[in-house]
A and B are shown apart, each in its own frame.
Chain A
Amino acid sequence: GAVVSQHPSRVICKSGTSVKIECRSLDFQATTMFWYRQFPKQSLMLMATSNEGSKATYEQGVEKDKFLINHASLTLSTLTVTSAHPEDSSFYICSALAGGPYEQYFGPGTRLTVT
Chain B
Amino acid sequence: GNSVTQMEGPVTLSEEAFLTINCTYTATGYPSLFWYVQYPGEGLQLLLKATKADDKGSNKGFEATYRKETTSFHLEKGSVQVSDSAVYFCALSNETYNTDKLIFGTGTRLQVFP
Contacts and interface: CB of A to CB of B under 8 A. Distances in A.
> Which bracket fits the contact residues of A?
20 to 34
B12 to A, nearest CB: 16
Interface in A66-115: 93, 95, 97, 101-109
Given A44-B89, A104-B98, A107-B43, 16 more contacts: A43-B89, A43-B105, A43-B107, A44-B104, A46-B101, A95-B44, A97-B99, A103-B97, A103-B98, A104-B46, A106-B36, A106-B43, A106-B44, A108-B41, A108-B43, A109-B43
Given A106-B44, A108-B42, A108-B43, A43 B98 contact: no
Contacts of A109: 43
Interface string B31-44: 00000100001111
The interface residues of chain A, by DSSP majority, are classed as: strand
A102 B98 contact: yes
Interface residues of B, number: 19
Interface of B: 4, 36, 41-46, 89, 97-99, 101-107
| Residue with the greatest number of chain A CB neighbours at <10 A, chosen from B4, B42, B43 | B43
Nearest to B8: A41
Interface of A: 4, 6, 32, 34, 41-44, 46, 49, 93, 95, 97, 101-109
Given A44-B89, A93-B43, A102 B99 contact: yes
Contacts of B41: 108
Contacts of A44: 44, 89, 102, 104
